Amino acid sequence: MIFTFNKLYTNKEEVEKHELNTPFETAAVLANILCSYNKENKNNFYEMLQVLMGDIQPISNLLKQQIDDRMSQNNKMDYIGASYFKGATVENNYTPNVPYEIEIKENPYSYDNEGYARLFLKSAGADSERPVTFRKTKEGKWLLWSDSVLGLLADIRPKKNDNPWS
């Protein structure tokens, strides 16, 4: 399923406008907010992420530390979010097309566990799709499950300008 955004989100109010009625929608919004991570103002990113996790799953200090560690590894905080959008490539330093389009995929095993959905996003800097898991609340909202966001933050190839080997 393809989602299109006219802009990248900058605050939790923009994220709160989404109903999160499908795991695909939640996954697309998650990719969008990955672009907002800024080591100088992490709280803004964590406020947006908390909307996707819901009040029933407070973001732990451990999860914050794991996200911070992965984002700072190889300075990928500057480009990992953008790497999931169409048009972004290693060669163009992960500059996505505007409007921002992202494809979210499922597979035959995506719904093996009732109330859960495991979906996949493709980063231009990785050879395989990255998994992320969502859980459906009794109200019907699909929230980011636990620490599965970490799957989207695994290392990717550096952008061309930062790669000393190419």
For 65-120, how does the pLDDT look when each residue is reduced to its tens digit (9 = 90+)? Answer: 999 999 998 889 999 999 999 999 999 999 999 999 999 999 999 999 999 999 99
Which amino acid is residue 35, in one-letter code?
C
pTM score: 0.95
SS (H, E, C) 81-132: CHHHCCCCCCCCCCCCCCCEEEEEECCCCCCCCCCEEEEEECCCCCCCCEEE
Domain ranges for the chain, please list them. Answer: 2-162
For 41-62, how does the pLDDT look when each residue is reduced to its tens digit (9 = 90+)? Answer: 999 999 999 999 999 999 999 9
Residue (of 10, 7, 3) closest to 25 by Cα position: 3
